[in-house]
Chains A and B, each alone.
Chain A
Amino acid sequence: MQEAEKSEEKSRLVKAYTAIVLARTLDKKIVVAQRQGRVGFYTPTMGQEALQIGASMALTEKDLIYGYYRDVPMMLHRGVPMEVIINQIMGNSEDSALGRQMPSHFSDKKRNFMSVQSPVATNLPVATGAAFTQKYRKTNSVVLATFGDGSTSTPDFHAAMNMAAVFNLPVIFLCENNGWAISLPVEKQTIAEIWTKAAAYGMRGLRVNGNDVIETHEVTLEAVKRAREGKGPTLIDAVSFRMGPHSTSDDPSKYRSETVEEGSDRDPVVVTEKTLKSRGYIDDKLIESIKSRAQKIVDDKFEECAKIPPPEPKSAFEDVYGKSTWMLDEEVKDIL
C-alpha cells in the first residue's frame, strides 16, 4: 500500500471508529435517561455499530437512505448532527418532526435520511420506488434500504426485492441481521440463510461479518459500484448481534440466555479497536481521548437539548394535508 493510500485509509477508519464510539456513548446515555424517566422510549443499537458505519462509508452525500428505527450509528457517521437525534428522542420543538413520532423514528431530509416508520419492511418497496427515480433521472445516486432479520418474513420484503430486480434498480438491501426480532431468534424466523433469498429474485446476495467494519464497507462499496453501473440491486446479509433489548420496554432475559457483553470479543467496538491497532492506526492513548471526547459531546448535547421546550400543542394537528380540512379545523378548535 502506498503512503498516501495508507494515510487515506487511516483517516477513513479512524473516522469510522470515532463514529462507532460516539454512537455507543450516545446509545448508553439514552438508555440511562430512559431509566431515569427523562426519555419515553428507545430502541438501542448496541452491537450494530460496525455494520451500519461500514455501509455508510460506501455512500456519498447524494445517495439516499431509507432506514428503520435502529440506525443511529449510520446517521452519526453520515453527518447527521447529534442534536437532530436527541431532539427527536425528546420530541421537543426543535425536533424535525415536532414531537409527533415516538423516539427512534428519525428524519433528516438535508442528509437524505428518509423519515422512519414503525411497521417493519414497509420502507423497502418505498426505497425501491426512490431507486426508480434515480434510474429514470440518471442521477447516478443509489438507495440504501435497511431492515432487521424479522423483516425478511414480510410480503413487503418479497415485493421490494422482486421489483428491484425486475426493474434492475440501483438499490442495496442491507439486512441488519442482529439475530433477534424482539423474542424470536433468526433460526425460527426463517430456515434459509438470509443472503440466499436473493437467488429467488435473480439478485446478487452476500453474507458479511457485520462486526467487521472493513469487510462490511468493502462489500457495500462493491454493491454500490455495481448499482451505479446499472448492474442492479444487491442483498447484503450483515450478521451481528443485538447486544441490548429490542427496546427499553423489553426484557431479553425472558427469552434468551446467550449474551454479548460490552467489552467482550464480539463487541464491535472491541473488534474495531483491535483491527485499527493491528494496522497501527490507533493506540490506547488515542482510544482514551476519542472516548472521553465522545462522552463530553454526548453529555453536553444531551443537556443542551433537554432545555428545549416542547412544541406548541396545535402543531400536533398540522401537516396532515397540504391544506387542512374543515373537519380537522373544527375538531382542533374544540380541543384547544
Chain B
Amino acid sequence: MTEMNMVQALNSALDLSMAADDSIILLGEDIGVDGGVFRVTEGLQKKYGPERVNDTPLVELGIVGMAIGMALTGLKPIAEIQFQDFIYTAMDQIINQAAKIRYRSAGQYTVPMVLRTPYGGGIKGGLYHSQSGETYFAHTAGLTVVSPSNPADAKGLLISSIGYGDPVIFLEPKRIYRTIKGEVKDGSYAIPLRKAAVVREGDDITAITYGSMVPTVRDAFEKNNVNGDIIDLRTLMPFDIETIVKSVEKTGRVLVVHEAPRTLGLGAEISAAIAERAMESLLGPILRVTGPDSPFPYRHEEYYLPNEKRIMKAVNKLSEYR
C-alpha cells in the first residue's frame, strides 16, 4: 500500500499494464516528453520509449482514429484526449467507427481501445476546460463509460478497461486529480466494470452519484449526519441497476447528483429506470441535484457545481416524505 493521489494511481495502472503487455500503446497530445498536461503519463516515455508513448499532432479525430486502427489490428491503445471539451471533432470516429465496428462486422472486428480524458469543473477552466459530456457517450450503443471517484478505484478501473474488448470512455474527474489522497495497493488489480460501489451505508435515503461528486456528497452526508446509502456508479454506461434498486427498496428516497447539466443528463435515465422498477418502494419524488442547463462559467463556477447546500436542501425535502 502506498498513499497516492489519482494522477499517481492512474500512472501506476498504466506503468504496470505496459510492463506486462507490449501491445499496450499510448498516444495523445503532449503525453510523452511532457508527461501530459496533468502529468498522468509522466515518466512513461522515458521508460517505454517513443514507439509506445507517442506524442501526436494536435488533432483529436486523428488520435482517436489511429487508436481504433491499432485496436483493430491487435494492439491495445490508450489514447489521451487532453480535455474532454476537445473531443467533439472525434465524435464521428467514436460514434460511427469505434462504437459500431463490432456490430457492423458481426463480431469479426472489435475495438479494445481506451480513451482517457479529464472532465468536469472545479479548476477555473471556464467553458472549454470544464465540461461533463458523459451523456453524449452514454447515449451511444457500443460504448462503455467509466468514471472513478478516488485513487484506488481509478487504478483498478483503468486496469479493467485496458483490453476490455469494447471501446471504453474513461472519464477522469480532474477536480479531484490531486485533492484527494488514499491508500492504493502496489501491484496490479482489477475492479470490475458494470458494478457500482456502495461507499456509505444508511437507511433513509439513496444518493446515486459518480466522479468528483462522490466526495462532495459524502462530505455533506458526514457533516450533517445523513443516514443514507451513497452509490458510486463507477461505470456510467451500462450502470448497475441491481445495486440501485436494492438500495431504493430499502430507503424509498432517491437523490441523484451529477455535475453535468440536468436535462437529459444521466440522472434522467436513472430516475426513469428506478420509476419503472421500484415505484412501489418510493416514498416521494426522485430528486436531482445537478449542474444547470447553461455553459460552464469561469468566474462563478462555484454556483454551477452542486455543493453541500444544494444537496442538503434536496435531502431535507426528501425527508419530509414518510
Residue numbers of A with Cβ under 8 A of B are 64, 66, 96-98, 100-101, 105, 107, 109, 114-115, 117-119, 122-134, 136-137, 155-156, 159-160, 162-163, 166-167, 315, 318-322, 325-328
Contacts and interface: CB of A to CB of B under 8 A. Distances in A.
Contacts of B142: 320-321
Contact of B106 (A100, A122, A137): A100
Interface stretch (B55-63, B115-123, B220-228): B55-63
Contacts of B182: none
A127 B241 CA distance: 38
A126 B109 contact: no
B89 interface: yes
Contact of A321 (B54, B73, B166): B166
Contacts of B100: 117
B51 A136 contact: yes
Given A119-B96, A322-B166, A159 B73 contact: no
B110 A322 contact: yes
By size class, the interface of chain B is 35 or more
A310 B93 CA distance: 30
Given A133-B73, A163-B66, A125 B61 contact: yes
B64 A125 contact: yes
B103 A319 contact: yes
Given A122-B93, A163-B56, A129 B68 contact: yes
25 contacts: A107-B109, A109-B109, A115-B108, A117-B96, A117-B104, A122-B93, A125-B61, A125-B64, A125-B66, A126-B68, A128-B69, A130-B73, A133-B69, A133-B70, A133-B75, A167-B54, A319-B102, A319-B106, A320-B102, A320-B103, A322-B164, A322-B166, A325-B194, A326-B238, A326-B241
B28 to A, nearest CB: 12
A115 B104 contact: yes
Contacts of A131: 69
Interface of B: 25, 51, 54, 56-57, 59, 61-62, 64-75, 77, 89, 92-93, 96-97, 100-110, 141-142, 144, 164-166, 194, 238, 241
A43 B73 CA distance: 28
Contacts of B105: 96-97, 107, 109, 115, 319
B70 A132 contact: yes
A28 B66 CA distance: 36
Contacts of B93: 122, 125-126, 156
Given A129-B66, A155-B89, A117 B109 contact: no
Contacts of A119: 92, 96
A155 B92 CA distance: 11
A132 B69 contact: yes
Given A100-B104, A322-B166, A64 B73 contact: yes
A320 B141 contact: yes
Nearest to A145: B69
B104 A105 contact: yes
Contact of B66 (A96, A128, A315, A322): A128
Contacts of A105: 104
Contacts of B141: 320, 328
Contacts of A322: 102, 110, 164-166
B51 A114 contact: no
Contacts of B64: 125
Contact of B69 (A101, A129, A328): A129
Contacts of B101: 115
Contacts of B92: 119, 122, 156
Contacts of B70: 129-130, 132-133
B33 to A, nearest CB: 15
Nearest to A64: B73
